[in-house]
Structure 1
């Protein structure tokens, strides 16, 4: 999410609290993700409630007590404590609280994948699913059809991903499709991919080449980009025959075009200067 002012500080504090919770192996990160997603859906539906929980005229303690009364018997203690802490903070607008809860739900699911050693698989599956959606207008239409029921979309996603993708990937995509909250499917998938990369403090480079890169080429490219940007780099690889004899690399908003050899040579020169 893009937060401003008070909401940026509140989100940073919420992320720290989530990390502290999920650092404990006694907390079931996947369960916490489901509970936070349910609370997100509740506050998305109930405009009055989210206004009350972000009302600067109410004390933080009063809002935290309301959370305890409403959720205490519905979700686990860690989920209640996390949300109670969030409503004690100041938010620039009510929607920011809901956006933050959604991000934390997704982060908790990614933490569960990381614990299981499956985070790399989830990152790659999110990227590949985004490419599948981009290449199939029929699939995109089915997944974004407002007239279609949520259960029908869940069934379609299960047929596509069930048994083929990590369970975390399926949960993340299913939540996005059934509760888009005004975002496009593409924007939601991109946001999930970035969040997955951030779990290891990595940047994402989308690499499009005419032919599949060799392991040596991937290692050289990843190392060069990591040194250029000063952060570990995760490569999302795509093949497009129209990239004749060359490569296209996109890191955030920056696009690098040119042949692989030329770009690596240029990267080496820049590192040496």
Structure 2
């Protein structure tokens, strides 16, 4: 998000961080409440337009949100969302997307409190790789399948294997797809999880597992290049023959032997 929406989301993240840092805050309930509110705002176009209407003052918008939500969700969620709608948003849909992101951030804060944030990131990454490699599974989790069946399928695959926070986040993506594929939704969760630590995630594809020394050296090089902490997710692909490829967002660094051979072959043919 850019402009007013980006500034408002940054302020909302700070308010959320302050709330989740209070030991007595029920962060699980807060995250669930925020997810429910995001779903409501996502479905109700007229409502999110009303709550982002620049013709109304911030206090008026906050009062409307408070009246709408009081008694339906917890007080922490009501106060947080009232503050969110008091801010300015570039376009109404940004409001629903921001609250959805806050719901994810709250769950990640819970995982961080439990010391399982790394496990959540790993679980999201692995599930994303499974979806990418098994189109039939991704099809079975699409909106064409009844919601109960979708969540049941996720449980059959991940219950007892994935961390509780990762499972709750994946359940939400599967149940409320917002016009995006499950794979896209899971990748979005992974990006939010990486940003939660103010670091980027690099997907490294190699022929053989990296040694600890190689991982440390590559992490240091990428961190210097991007100016952020870097988390490596490594998957194996024998078709590369040698070397590796690295994907960071839209950036692709291709150092595989297969690519170099293909380029050499094209040059020879020319």
Assess same fold via TM > 0.5: yes
Match of 2:255 among 250, 254, 258: 258
Q: CA contact under 8 A between 2:240 and 2:256: conserved in structure 1?
A: no
User: CA RMSD for the aligned pairs?
Assistant: 1.5
1:71 to 59, 69, 72: 69
Q: Distance in 2 between matches of 1:90 and 1:117?
A: 35
Report the alpha carbon displacement of residue 114 of structure 1 after superposing the two structures with TM. 0.7
**For structure 1, which segment, 126-135 or 47-56, has the greater mean C-alpha deviation from structure 2 after superposition?**
47-56
- Bigger mean CA offset, 216-225 vs 234-243: 216-225
**Residues 71-95 of structure 1 deviation map (CA, whole Å, 9 limit, x = unaligned):** 1111111111110001111112211
Q: Is the 8 A contact 2:244 2:255 kept in 1?
A: yes
Quote the offset at 1:47 in angstroms.
2.0
Q: Does 1:174 align with 2:171?
A: yes
- Residue of structure 1 equivalent to 2:199: 202
Matched, 1:152 2:122: no
Partner residue, 1:268: none
| Number of the residue aligned with 1:42 | 40
> What's the TM-score, normalizing by structure 2?
0.91
User: How many pairs align?
Assistant: 257
Between the aligned partners of 1:199 and 1:147, the Cα distance in structure 2 is 32
Q: Does 1:245 align with 2:242?
A: yes
List gaps (5 residues or longer) in structure 1: 261-273
Is the CA contact 2:52–2:88 (under 8 Å) kept in the aligned structure 1? yes
1:137 and 1:200 mapped to 2: Cα distance? 31
Gaps spanning 5+ residues in structure 2: where?
258-270
